């Protein structure tokens, strides 16, 4: 395995991960075993280590497929495996953060993955019906029992992340710190900058951005109202996922990314991915390529650093409207 990809610490922990992560949302559903094998091998050979999955991806098939590939293709010791628990296919209760559900889900994930531990275990979402201290205790049990090395959260808003991370820090040596949070973050979705990212930076929680390419829109493939037949926008079950980012506002941002890419003689994908990868607090964007060719194109961003003036221009064109209470009223 080559190891040219830069490694970063996951939040304020000793765990180091590749600064690009490989997502497996479509594995076992849209991505078959052959393509998944090509993806994992290409990622590993490029020095990639962080592979992200969840117990609900493909109804468990994503974890099962990753486990099979670790058994015969890529050594388990070379990978940092992240999975998630807490989402449930129940229309009356979308998330279950009870200790009983979470620890059972973790055991099932380990069985499908064919390993005795995951490196990072994330709560998939906040459960308002379970006391947070019970949910967080499940993370502590997972780590103390050796079933998880580190623990994090996903899809927690600012106050939820701050409360969880502060609770864990209140009893050092007894509770395990929140190492990371997974949140959608891209030039088309900068909502985390309002409260989640400041909380993460203050509390030493590393951010793992999901959908860093704006659900594929920032690649420019949908410009001029085009929808490539092999894209997610043309898929019956993924088109609603992409559609919110096909409006006029997003179009202006995509045009700016394309202009920057032309000026730098690179691709819009590279510009968009480099921008989010190097934002303060970001550890590793999680990308979800369909095939090894797309992955190779994304990994080529390793050698790209955007000039400051390009970053400022992209910041300006994509800036979200944050006023009260974020505005510095002391200057008035």
The rounded mean pLDDT for the chain is 92
Cβ proximity of 112 and 67 under 8 Å: yes
pLDDT number for residue 90: 75
| pLDDT tens profile 69-81 | 998 899 999 999 9
pLDDT number for residue 246: 85
Which bin fits 298, alpha (ψ -120 to 50), beta or left (φ > 0)?
alpha
Which residue is catalytic, options 57, 150, 185, 222?
57
* Bigger pLDDT: 56 vs 231: 56
| pLDDT tens profile 237-260 | 666 777 888 889 999 999 999 999
- 54-83 mean pLDDT: 96
pTM for the model? 0.93
pLDDT number for residue 1: 45
Alpha helices by DSSP H, listed for 170-242, are 196-203, 239-242
pLDDT number for residue 232: 52
3-class secondary-structure state, position 255? helix
pLDDT number for residue 234: 44
DSSP state of 186: B
- Sole residue written with tokens 């049990």: 141
pLDDT number for residue 154: 98
Mind giving me the DSSP string for 66-92?
HHHHHHHTS-GGG-EEEEEE-B-S-TT
| pLDDT tens profile 143-180 | 999 999 999 999 999 999 999 999 999 999 999 999 99
Q: How far apart are CA 222 and CA 246, in angstroms?
A: 8
Is residue 319 scored above 60 in pLDDT?
Answer: yes
Burial class (CB in 10 A: 0-12, 13-18, 19+), 62: buried
- Sole residue written with tokens 């092999």: 230
| pLDDT tens profile 171-218 | 999 999 999 999 999 999 999 999 999 999 999 999 999 999 999 999
**How many other CB atoms are there within 10 angstroms of residue 323's CB atom?**
6
Both ends of the chain: CA-CA distance in Å? 56
Cβ proximity of 84 and 77 under 8 Å: no
User: Is-catalytic flag, 150?
Assistant: no
């Amino acid at each position: 395995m080559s190891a040219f990809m830069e490694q970063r610490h996951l939040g304020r922990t000793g765990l180091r991960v590749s600064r690009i992560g490989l997502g497996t949302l479509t594995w076992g559903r849209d991505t078959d075993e052959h393509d998944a094998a090509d993806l994992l091998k290409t990622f590993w050979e490029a020095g990639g280590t962080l592979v992200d999955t969840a117990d609900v991806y493909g109804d468990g098939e994503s974890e099962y497929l990753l486990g099979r590939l670790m058994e015969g293709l890529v050594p388990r010791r070379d990978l940092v495996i992240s999975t998630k628990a807490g989402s449930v296919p129940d229309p009356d209760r979308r998330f279950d953060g009870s200790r009983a559900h979470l620890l059972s889900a973790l055991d099932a994930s380990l069985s499908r993955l064919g390993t005795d531990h995951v490196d990072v275990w994330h709560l998939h979402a906040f459960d308002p019906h379970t006391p947070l201290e019970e949910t967080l205790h499940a993370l502590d049990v997972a780590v103390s029992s050796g079933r998880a090395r580190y623990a994090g959260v996903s899809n927690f808003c600012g106050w939820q992340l701050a409360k969880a991370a502060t609770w864990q820090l209140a009893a050092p040596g007894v509770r395990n710190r929140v190492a990371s949070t997974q949140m959608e973050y891209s030039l088309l979705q900068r909502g985390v900058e309002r409260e989640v990212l400041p909380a993460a930076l203050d509390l030493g929680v590393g951010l793992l951005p999901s959908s860093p390419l704006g659900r594929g829109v920032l690649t420019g493939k949908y410009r001029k109202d085009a929808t490539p037949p092999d894209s997610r926008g043309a898929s019956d079950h993924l088109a609603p996922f992409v559609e919110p980012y096909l409006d006029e506002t997003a179009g202006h941002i995509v045009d700016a990314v394309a202009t920057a890419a032309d000026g730098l003689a690179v691709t819009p994908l590279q510009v968009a991915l480099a921008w989010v990868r190097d934002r303060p607090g970001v550890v590793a964007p999680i990308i979800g390529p369909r095939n090894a060719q797309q992955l190779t194109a994304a990994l080529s961003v390793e050698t790209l650093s955007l000039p400051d003036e390009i970053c400022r221009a992209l910041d300006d064109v994509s800036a979200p409207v944050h006023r009260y209470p974020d505005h510095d009223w002391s200057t008035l």
